[in-house]
Amino acid sequence: MSRWLQEITRSLSGSPHGVTEVEGGRTISHPDLLARADIWNRAMSGLSGQVVSVVLPNGIEWIAAYIACLRNGAVFNPIPYFSSVGELARIFTYVQPGLLITDREDLITRYIGEMSALTPDQVAALEPIACTAEEPDDDAIACLYYSSGTTGNPKGVLYSHGNVFALIDSINRGFRFDAETRQLAFLPFGHTASINYNILPALLAGSPLFTSQGFEKLRANFFQVLAENRINYTEVVPSVLLMLLKLKHDLTGLDLSALRFIGCGSSTLPLESQRDFMQTYGVKVANLYGLSETGPSHVDDPTVDGWEPGSIGVALDCNQCRIAEDGEILLKGPNVFVGYYKNEALYNEVVVDGWFHTGDLGREEPGGVFVFTDRKKDLIIKSGINIVPAEIEEVIYGCDAVLGCVAVGKQDPVHGEVIAVAVAPKDPSVDRDELIKAVRAICREKLSTHKLPSVIEVVDEIPKTHSGKLQRRKIRDHFAR
């Protein structure tokens, strides 16, 4: 049996804690969660090596299905619950699942007769059985994380049992998660943020885990849920953090003393927004970095003495990090994925001598602290000068009326590229001309002349993926029309 399965089985079987669904209050102890996985074993029988696509809401059944899937040597393929039928059709064509697990009637109706499908209700009627499949080892593939990519090119990241253990064991050490750490997971379980920062660390530590069906369920009582459940840690994405800033919750009477800090990742966190949130709510926010191919690679711990916002922190002990001559962030370690599904050529292109080329730019500062600057491919090249979009965006976020912004390169016959900016206002009724004037003013005040935007346009919202990642390509395409 793989080290990962051995350790979570040991932790859960002896744990006094469990998993609680915030909406509805369903609770299951960790030993009973293992028993629940035994029921799911019947569904996974005979699927060793095959992909199991899971389209379930955040909650206990998702976690039980995960454990059973890995026990039986199948490849767990989590997909966001709210994915459209059209998007799922593209995913299924690509991954060719041996089994679909979902409670969505539209999917069951659509794929009946085309692929094997199973619902939690069907599983509930089964009797538990011990897993009889050949036990997977550390080299066996545990998960296939599908991503359409910000460029529109699909990728299937293959993560082994060995990868998972190396990563989560290191996260628990680096973040100081232990058996008493109370986690809240509410980001979509189909994406790796909740999986790597909340769910799997709680399984490995045998610690209390609270789940929510999503931020839409929490937006009115987010801090109340944190206080009532004495949450020590939760993970957000920048869009959630910005929305909480906009909502301006009143924390009077709430005891948040158990909350060590909030982690924010999956997309670029503007420094101005990080500072605003901490000042507004008095809650520390970590700027976290990682990729589907590696999982979280650094820990930014705002509880340590002398901490300052703005970096992604120090490398986790499961991987080495260095900065290439061209400024690219390179990672090497047992947490680096083992392949791209159906695309060995791409894997060999990005993993060279064991070093994964992230496509991100950064720098190392004294004390082994790293700073993320931008995506390598997102650089704007104006008259031969490299301009980092994040530098421009950071300045614009200093404008009080701005909720979100994106800077991209726009083709220009003279300069090659000029800078175009899309800005989303906090108040939709704002005078758009006045907002553009305010943005130009703050840019003139804080940016060099060659970094000033040539085009500024006010948009209703900044396009993002389901996981909160910025879809810069859509803005680039918009300005190219």
Q: Is the dihedral of CA 441, 445, 446, 448 positive or negative?
A: positive
> What does the pLDDT look like over 165-223, one tens digit per residue?
999 999 999 999 999 999 999 999 998 999 999 999 999 999 999 999 999 999 999 99
Res. 149: pLDDT tops 70: no
DSSP label at residue 128: P
pLDDT digits (tens, 9 = 90+) for 297-332: 999 999 999 999 999 999 999 999 999 999 999 999
**Could you count the other beta carbons within 10 Å of the beta carbon of residue 163?**
27
In sequence order, what are the residues at sequence separation of 6 or more whose Cβ sits closer than 8 angstroms to the Cβ of residue 437?
none
CB atoms inside a 10 Å sphere around CB 210: 24
Written as six digits, the tokens of 399 are 């404008």
Q: How far is Cα 347 from Cα 332, in angstroms, rounded to an integer?
A: 14
pLDDT reported for residue 153: 61
Q: What is the pTM of this model?
A: 0.85
**10 pLDDT more than 90:** yes
For 367-405, b where at least 16 C-beta lie within 10 A, e where not — what string? eebbbbbbbbebbbebeeeebbbbbbbbbbbbbeebbbb
What is the per-residue pLDDT for 130? Answer: 72
- Identical fold for domains 3-372 and 379-480, yes or no, is no
Q: Which residues pair with 183 in a beta bridge?
A: 209, 233
Q: What pLDDT score does 469 carry?
A: 76
Whether 218 and 245 have beta carbons less than 8 Å apart is answered as no
Going 144 to 149 to 155 to 161, the CA torsion angle's sign is negative
Q: Are 265 and 194 in contact (CB under 8 A)?
A: no
Q: How confident is the model at residue 383 (pLDDT cuts 50, 70, 90)?
A: confident
Closest to 200 measured CA to CA, from 350, 23, 4: 4
Instruction: Report the pLDDT value the prediction gives residue 377, as an integer from 0 to 100.
Output: 81
Q: Which two tokens stand for residue 49?
A: 């090596």
How many residues are listed for the chain in this entry? 481
The fold of 3-372 is Rossmann fold (3.40.50)
Q: What are phi and psi of 240, to 5 degrees?
A: -70, -45
Instruction: Answer yes or no: are the C-beta atoms of 270 and 278 closer than 8 Å.
Output: no
Give bridge partners of residue 374 from the DSSP assignment. Answer: 361
List pLDDT tens digits, range 439-477: 999 999 988 888 999 999 999 999 987 667 788 889 999
The predicted structure's pLDDT at residue 379: 85
* Domain locations in the chain as residue ranges: 3-372, 379-480
3-state helix, strand, coil in the chain (%, to 5): 35, 25, 40
Would you put residue 24 in left (φ > 0), alpha (ψ -120 to 50) or beta?
Answer: left
- pLDDT, tens digit (0-9, with 9 covering 90-100), for 243-285: 999 899 999 999 999 999 999 998 788 899 999 999 999 999 9
Query: Is residue 292 a contact partner of residue 331, using CB atoms and an 8 Å limit?
Result: no
Residue 150: pLDDT band (50, 70, 90) is: very low
Classify strands 402-412 and 385-387 as parallel, antiparallel or unpaired: unpaired
Percent of the chain with pLDDT over 90: 77
> 145-156 burial by CB neighbour count: b if 16+ within 10 A, else e?
bbbbebeeebbb
Per-residue model confidence as pLDDT tens digits over 159-180: 999 999 999 999 999 999 999 9
Q: Which residues pair with residue 161 across a beta bridge?
A: none
Q: What span, in angstroms and rounded, lies between the C-alpha atoms of 199 and 23?
A: 17
Instruction: Return the amino acid letter for 35.
Output: A
Q: Are 391 and 419 in contact (CB under 8 A)?
A: no
Alpha helices in 14-119 (DSSP H): 30-44, 60-71, 85-95, 105-111
Is 461 in a helix, a strand, or coil?
coil
Band the pLDDT of 407: cuts 50, 70, 90: very high
In the chain, the percentage of residues whose pLDDT exceeds 70 is 98
Q: pLDDT by residue (tens digit) across 105-132?
A: 999 999 888 899 999 999 888 877 776 6
- Three-state DSSP class for 37? helix
Please name the fold of domain 379-480: GMP Synthetase; Chain A, domain 3 (3.30.300)
